[in-house]
Structure 1
Amino acid sequence: MKFISNPLKITEDRSTPSEVYNWKVYIFGLILGLSSLEIGYDSGFIGGSVALDSFRRDFKLDEMSSSDSSFIISNIVSVFHAGCFFGSIFSYPLTFNYGRKIGLIGSSIIMAIGAIIMLISSKDRGLGPMYVGRTLTGLGVGASTSIVPVYLAECSPGPIRGRISSMYEIGWRIGDTVGFFISYGVDSTISSSTKQWFIPFSIQLIPAGLYLIGVFYLRESPRWLYSQDRQSEALKNLTWMRNLDSNHEYIKWEISNIKSELEYEKTHTGQGFFDPFLKILKSKILLRKLFISCSLYILQNLYGIQSINYFSPVFFKQIGVKGTNSSLFSTGMFGIVKLIATLFWSLFIVEQYGRRTTVLTCAPICAICFYYIGGYVKFNSGGASAKAALGMLYIWTFFFIVSLSGTPYIFSAEIISDTTIRGGFQVINSMFLWLSVFLMTRFTTNMIESMSYGIFFFFATWAVLTIPFVYFLMPETRGISLEYMDRLFQYKAWKAHKLVLNEIQEESKLDQFERLYEIEANEKNNSNYIETKSDETAKL
């Protein structure tokens, strides 16, 4: 079948040496995927861990009313996302002044410190250290979600940018799958004691520690180094990343593009701290890009993914899965479906079928699934309908993951070619991401109590609204180099990709023709020079 014939097929906008697609760029993706492993693990383990009887007993949640305990649990979950929101803001001055790598190192240190502080919580000390630790970990995670997409966009070759960025999404899904099954495992095998909930919390140190070690291997972004006029270091890093000699034509082409961009940016944007934000506010095309990318992050959460991630035991109980252990197992299967879907997306979808097409294809399926589940919960017929509802949830999960899960991260990072505003642009995106996650996780339990089955209709309706939004506003970006992204937004979204690809190919042919003409002209001049010299020698 053509659909699965070549998962490693690369779509190029111009001829690219094979050396460019080397193991180093994949190692970058793997290391940065460790930061998302921490995020994923948190979304996987926290909902199941705070539902454990041992946790509820140690922190006296079992002595509270249902509404009071729900309020405490919502706070434990959501302070992490509040930290993420502020972390995304604080990342900007770090990367602006000190570079992408220093920002990543700083985020990894804060993340690890927060994971350690959480472990100080106990039935005697209360939840204070838990709140502080989760807030700090959130600060580190929020900073990394702002910096990682920028770093990958600047360092990854255009034709495989989506594939490298998908490793971030894979790390996220591995983390939440492990987190789900850790909660299930401790509930199944460990007696109801402090150790039962302490183990899932302590495992956070593993991805945080690995990420902290890994970021020291990374090289600073050549684009950022050129923007700081550190040209020799930038050239060294670029040739190392591309695995090519500094005299190679591809390196010369990439350097020429970077320098011409920077020259334009210095003239039209400025180099001040607030200049990027001022330029965004003054530019219609940048505001359009910002509106689309921020909306994708918001829509991602309005689909319901974070609500289900963090409160999956509650949702599975609503569908009809009985018992804490059974609910945790179903949650683990939910994680496995997400992981399989993410691998499928990264291998077969993201670079072969792009961003726009998959969202448009999968949105109606996601809507149908949740409309069915909402109807089932309303009438609660049980039996085969209950199994079908559970199946629909897993189907929804698969189609959500291969469409709107990773797309906002890739899209928001790759549509900005201007190095001077990319960091500020991504900060705003991250703020909207974490604000929407915070609001959804903070009020999910309230929505379930007040809306019941209606919460599924709420999620489904947003999936329907995604279709016209993406069709009319979001252009396809697959295979387009950063330098040509602005052109996509000069055309109607539904035909922009084809038109821009045609333009690039025509320009590439023209460049080749001009180079051949230049070579022939040089050869002719050299030939004339030799003939003239020969004539002069003969006269002598």
Structure 2
Amino acid sequence: MVKLFERVEDRPTPKAVYNWRVYSCAIVAATAAIMIGYDSAFIGTSIALPSFKNEFGLLTKTPKEFAAISSNIVSTYQGGCFFGALLGYPAGQLLGRKMGLLLSALVFCLGAGVMLAADGARGLGPIYGGRIVAGLGIGAASNLTPLYISEISPPAIRGQLVGAYEIGWQSNRPLFPHRAVGGLVGFWINYGVSKHIAPGTTQWLTPFAVQLIPGGLFALGIPFFIKESPRWLLNQGKREAGIANLCYIRNLSPEDPYIVNEVNEIDIQAEHDRTAVGTGFFAPLRHLLTNGPIFRRMLITSNLFLLQNGTGINAINYYSPTIFKSIGVTGTNTSLLTTGVFGVIKTVLGLVWCFFIIDHFGRRNILLVGATGGALSMLAIAIYIKVDQPQLNPTTSLPPAGKAAMFFFYLWTAFYAASFNGTPWVVNSEAFPGTVRQVTQCIAACSNWLWNFVISRATPTMFLRMGSGGWGVYLFF
């Protein structure tokens, strides 16, 4: 029988190593995912608010015109994220993981502030520009956060702590209930404002303003609660500071055999890196491109994000009202409520994945089960839309077949949250030697945002062109 809470250690490890300090550093770093998750979740339902459409003259647009504007609003963010992930590499390499994370938080807050300047007179320009700038910050954070967490984590809990980052991203409850913000709030906030704030500028602007809360908290938390990566400090020749930070995070003295052994391992790895890879800013990239086995491994692991986005998750994250309308859910509030339930299921199953699955059942097995269950669920929804055509036969309540389709949608959510939700990030954080880990993490983050961009850009058009009611979209996913 699997012992779910048993730690699998690669060497004898003092209990003091699993202390509040390592969890504190990891959790505060993982709150980067709160701003990432919120920004990914709130925008689709914000665009669907009648007050937003009225403010920017979207009520008179044709479905094709509205689809183009929606994809522009969403995809400018992914474009910024892609280039931010690229910039995260030099920031983390030259300035350190901690300073890189702080800069990403400040850039995000700047972008969020720019969005608040949008109104009917100025048009959508501030939203486009602000989302590009915010995306730069988020892209850098998506690169540096899992790298930082993997560098400070003891091997036995590395998967769980990196998983906390992805839980923070997709459901944004990183380990503790009081952090139930981010994506979960992003899915519910527009339901709340539609119920409790009168239609108008304040109604649609409130979700945009809330972005500043997670970004500001992340920026404030970094200087006070995060220690610079000991591995980065030691590799930069800052030996005294590196050992001091390692002792703090491990809660052990410098003379403890565990600390002596870990520092020795880092030194050996650094010497190996210099011998095998060379020195210089581009040395890890050259080594990656010229080392066949590592390069092939990078192609496989980075393309896990192609498979992750190919499940349809970001089509749902960004265009959930369109998704539920295609199944037959009618009414703005009902659609927003259904989206909120989706967020809750993803949160709960994401926590199950983090605590009970990721470190106990094998990464490959998890992905195989998730892909199989998710594909069968999407097939069932496609058949329902093709046969019943709910968009051509609207009703005030879902028929039995429609309820069955909603069941399969939530079943798909469960399979996704317990598999592809976070496993690709964990695999990428642990699959490479230290010689190339930072550059492969950069490539992984860029791959994520590239496929994120492709899906977010294509989804509105796919629903217009892939079969009546969009049944072909579900078959594709």
- Which residue among 422, 426, 439 is the counterpart of 1:410? 426
Q: Secondary structure of the residue that 1:121 maps to in structure 2? A: coil
Q: How many Å separate the matches in 2 of 1:417 and 1:253?
A: 18
Q: How many Å separate the matches in 2 of 1:196 and 1:317?
A: 22
Pairwise CA distance, 1:364: 1.1
Runs of 5+ consecutive residues of structure 1 not aligned to the other structure: 460-540
- Which residue among 198, 202, 219 is the counterpart of 2:205? 198
Q: Does 1:119 align with 2:126?
A: no
Q: How many Å separate the matches in 1 of 2:425 and 2:290?
A: 24
User: Which structure has the highest helix share of the two?
Assistant: 1
- Which residue among 193, 196, 200 is the counterpart of 1:189? 196
Query: 1:162 matched to which residue of 2?
Result: 159
Q: How many Å separate the matches in 1 of 2:31 and 2:228?
A: 18
Deviations, residues 476-500 of structure 1 (Å, cap 9, x unaligned):
xxxxxxxxxxxxxxxxxxxxxxxxx
Q: Does 1:443 align with 2:443?
A: no
Pairwise CA distance, 1:354: 3.3
Q: Does 1:424 align with 2:439?
A: yes
Pairwise CA distance, 1:375: 0.3
Pairwise CA distance, 1:327: 0.6
Query: 2:271 matched to which residue of 1?
Result: 263
Q: How many Å separate the matches in 1 of 2:474 and 2:278?
A: 47
Q: Does 1:392 align with 2:408?
A: yes
Query: 2:59 matched to which residue of 1?
Result: 62
Q: Does 1:210 align with 2:217?
A: yes
Q: Does 1:228 align with 2:243?
A: no
Pairwise CA distance, 1:62: 1.2
Q: How many Å separate the matches in 2 of 1:354 and 1:177?
A: 27
Q: Does 1:453 align with 2:471?
A: yes
Based on CA coordinates, which of the two structures has the bigger radius of gyration?
Answer: 1
| Match runs of 1:17-28 below 5 Å | 17-28=14-25
Q: How many Å separate the matches in 1 of 2:36 and 2:444?
A: 17
Asked whether the 8 Å contact 2:167–2:422 carries over to 1, the reply is: no
- Which residue among 358, 364, 376 is the counterpart of 1:368? 376
CA RMSD after TM alignment: 1.2
AA of the residue aligned to 1:425: T
Q: Does 1:46 align with 2:46?
A: no
Asked whether the 8 Å contact 2:37–2:168 carries over to 1, the reply is: yes
Q: How many Å separate the matches in 2 of 1:359 and 1:424?
A: 24
After TM superposition, what 4+ stretches of structure 1 lie above 3 angstroms from structure 2? none
Pairwise CA distance, 1:44: 1.8
Query: 2:392 matched to which residue of 1?
Result: none
After the TM superposition, which of the residue ranges 169-178 and 389-398 deviates more from structure 2? 169-178
Runs of 5+ consecutive residues of structure 2 not aligned to the other structure: 173-181, 390-397
Deviations, residues 263-307 of structure 1 (Å, cap 9, x unaligned):
010011112111111100111121122112111111100110001
Query: 1:71 matched to which residue of 2?
Result: 68
Q: How many Å separate the matches in 2 of 1:97 and 1:181?
A: 39
Query: 2:357 matched to which residue of 1?
Result: 349
Q: Secondary structure of the residue that 2:12 maps to in structure 1? A: coil
After the TM superposition, which of the residue ranges 169-178 and 254-263 deviates more from structure 2? 169-178
- Aligned-residue identity in percent: 41
Pairwise CA distance, 1:7: 4.4
Q: How many Å separate the matches in 2 of 1:448 and 1:28?
A: 43
AA of the residue aligned to 2:388: N
Query: 1:140 matched to which residue of 2?
Result: 137
Asked whether the 8 Å contact 1:184–1:325 carries over to 2, the reply is: yes
Q: How many Å separate the matches in 1 of 2:473 and 2:17?
A: 47
Q: Secondary structure of the residue that 2:59 maps to in structure 1? A: helix
Query: 1:178 matched to which residue of 2?
Result: 185
Q: How many Å separate the matches in 2 of 1:269 and 1:213?
A: 37
How many residues align? The count is: 455
